[in-house]
Structure 1
């Protein structure tokens, strides 16, 4: 195969979040070396000055690599992320380079149906191909702008590769991600409070930053604070242990793209309780490979928690389904082959 050069434009490798996790997964595969990939960082979770500096620095590095690049693979999500990418899109087309845009947003209301929908229209119109994370997002964009339909392709986020290790699981229900209202942390605390007296040896574990103090106060108000643990944002070995030691994974979100935390749960073989939002229905069916309930239905979430806590056979069955998902549909090799195929089509 001819040696091509693909320039990836995205947030920093030191930034917390799904896009960073996805690109780091790609870096573990042969895709990275086969396509001579370069990661140009345009954002970081730090001060305003640091954010401005990394954007300016990224722009100059981009201009250095752009003449020799064959394809630009641009990752973006919510409005601020999209606006940051406008100049990169303009320069890519100015230099007549192929442009692949990879859309990671979680809400249609703030993006393609929001006040800055014209920004997304400009990016999508100038892209040669558009990657979305699910059929839900493909349908939403195609409905909004029908002339984009043939450009849109679905590529799922990949599961991370996890080394087998025998560690005794605790009676712990894991929530991983930003602790905010969109992720439904309040619903999980309230639902667990409703079942805690029947299962006093179980606990909730929150791995993530965000509204920690509000979550602690809610747990205290509901008198379950001794059964709720807050780890803060975890990565590396701390994240690994949080997943390995837990017995259930719960993501009670109101809006998602295709959450990497849920994919991590698949990789670690955790039974999943979640909601049918974003790209999740592409992969999960209630009682077949996960327990699914409607977002905001705290009584239904309590029922799911009880079912998973009380019935070991259910937990084991769902755990097996999670492993299967990570080894087949969402396997890193499978996903990167699909992405490499898109690269080949675009550069043929």
Structure 2
């Protein structure tokens, strides 16, 4: 079987790409195709980032002559800039190249200032993996890639022990970086509009970022006793937050395919979110998710109100999350598809 070098950020880095690759590690294809994770970046001070890049490059150069496929995970401008040299070296050594795009923004779109940076990777790749049909259409429009070069592969739901109904507590959970792009501030404002109707409910925000700005907004709205800032959580703390939540909300303005939503589905949580990134591929308002327009705080408050007050609707959306986790985004199905992609490049 071919040997595969998986080039991506460190397994210690916070974020969706790391979560995706950790899920891929659980699949049969990881051992079947002798995958090795080349770690090229880690959060932290500049010296640590430089060290990880150099050590990753050394690891890559030592293993590159003996591999068959290079699978590069890339996202925004900074990631793509770092990964371009790995793509160039893979073609210099005549290896098969897979470029796996996790971007949440329009960097490569027509008029995007970094379009030419992405062009090399996309045009020289033997296969381009995209997170949704939406992104496949956009890449086709911008770069005119042949249809057989592109493959849509969804991010998988993690494997977890799903929550039981009796474990639920009355709180809405947000998990992600606290930035306006993720819409955490919109969620605080929307919750404030309905908080008086649901005195037993709380809002919990898990993630790093604009924590002080968020606390200031909460104080302005008189919601300090109803909103909790959990900071960045993982491991047991993350599991506890998802297991005991009753609703997951991600009011994002742009995404690739959000891992927070996949985590919520894995824990069978009903999801309130926006139709951005890859979500329109599968999300149907009122059927399997509760959707609202990005930035529409009033509509968000109405969707939360519906889910919190209508038990039949709550059960319906929860059951849809179970189906997503066990079928559409099942990690074994996704990793099997990834193995088929590797096999097609032999």
TM range (shorter): over 0.9
Q: Is the 8 A contact 1:272 1:290 kept in 2?
A: yes
Q: Deviations over 1:183-230 (max 9, x none)?
A: 001110000000001111101111111100111111111011111011
**Among 47, 51, 54, the residue aligned to 2:52:** 54
Counterpart in 2 of 1:182?
181
Q: Deviations over 1:127-151 (max 9, x none)?
A: 0000000011000010011134431
Counterpart in 1 of 2:332?
333
**Helix, strand or coil for the counterpart of 1:39?**
strand
Deviation at 1:168, TM superposition (A): 1.7
Q: Is the 8 A contact 1:112 1:120 kept in 2?
A: no
2:221 aligned with 1:252: no
Q: Is the 8 A contact 1:274 1:293 kept in 2?
A: yes
Q: Is the 8 A contact 1:124 1:148 kept in 2?
A: no
Counterpart in 2 of 1:27?
25
Supply the distance in 2 between the matched residues of 1:333 and 1:223 (Cα, whole angstroms).
Answer: 46
Q: Is the 8 A contact 1:275 1:295 kept in 2?
A: yes
Supply the distance in 2 between the matched residues of 1:317 and 1:75 (Cα, whole angstroms).
Answer: 35
Counterpart in 2 of 1:104?
102
> Structure 2: where are the runs of 5+ without partners?
none
Supply the distance in 2 between the matched residues of 1:112 and 1:38 (Cα, whole angstroms).
Answer: 31
2:3 aligned with 1:5: yes
Deviation at 1:20, TM superposition (A): 0.2
Supply the distance in 2 between the matched residues of 1:138 and 1:222 (Cα, whole angstroms).
Answer: 41
Q: For residues 270 and 152 of structure 1, do their structure 2 counterparts lie closer, same or farther at Cα, with a shift above 3 Å needed?
A: same
Supply the distance in 2 between the matched residues of 1:194 and 1:164 (Cα, whole angstroms).
Answer: 31
> Structure 1: where are the runs of 5+ without partners?
none
Superposition RMSD in Å: 1.0
Counterpart in 2 of 1:126?
124
Supply the distance in 1 between the matched residues of 2:317 and 2:327 (Cα, whole angstroms).
Answer: 15
**Helix, strand or coil for the counterpart of 1:137?**
helix
**Helix, strand or coil for the counterpart of 2:167?**
coil
**Helix, strand or coil for the counterpart of 2:151?**
strand
Deviation at 1:154, TM superposition (A): 0.3
Deviation at 1:32, TM superposition (A): 1.3
Deviation at 1:161, TM superposition (A): 0.4
**Among 42, 45, 50, the residue aligned to 2:43:** 45
Supply the distance in 2 between the matched residues of 1:60 and 1:270 (Cα, whole angstroms).
Answer: 43
**Helix, strand or coil for the counterpart of 1:231?**
strand
Supply the distance in 2 between the matched residues of 1:346 and 1:28 (Cα, whole angstroms).
Answer: 21
Mean CA deviation greater in 189-198 or 148-157: 148-157
Deviation at 1:30, TM superposition (A): 1.7
Supply the distance in 2 between the matched residues of 1:336 and 1:132 (Cα, whole angstroms).
Answer: 14
Q: Deviations over 1:285-312 (max 9, x none)?
A: 0001010011011110010010011112
Deviation at 1:314, TM superposition (A): 1.3
Counterpart in 2 of 1:238?
237
| Aligned structure 1 segments of 4 or more residues deviating by more than 6 angstroms | none
Normalising to structure 1: TM-score of the pair? 0.97
**Helix, strand or coil for the counterpart of 1:328?**
helix
Supply the distance in 2 between the matched residues of 1:147 and 1:28 (Cα, whole angstroms).
Answer: 31
Supply the distance in 1 between the matched residues of 2:163 and 2:251 (Cα, whole angstroms).
Answer: 28
Supply the distance in 2 between the matched residues of 1:235 and 1:170 (Cα, whole angstroms).
Answer: 19
Q: Is the 8 A contact 1:160 1:267 kept in 2?
A: yes
- Alignment map for 1:162-241 (pairs within 5 Å): 162-164=160-162, 166=164, 168-241=167-240
**Among 51, 62, 73, the residue aligned to 2:71:** 73
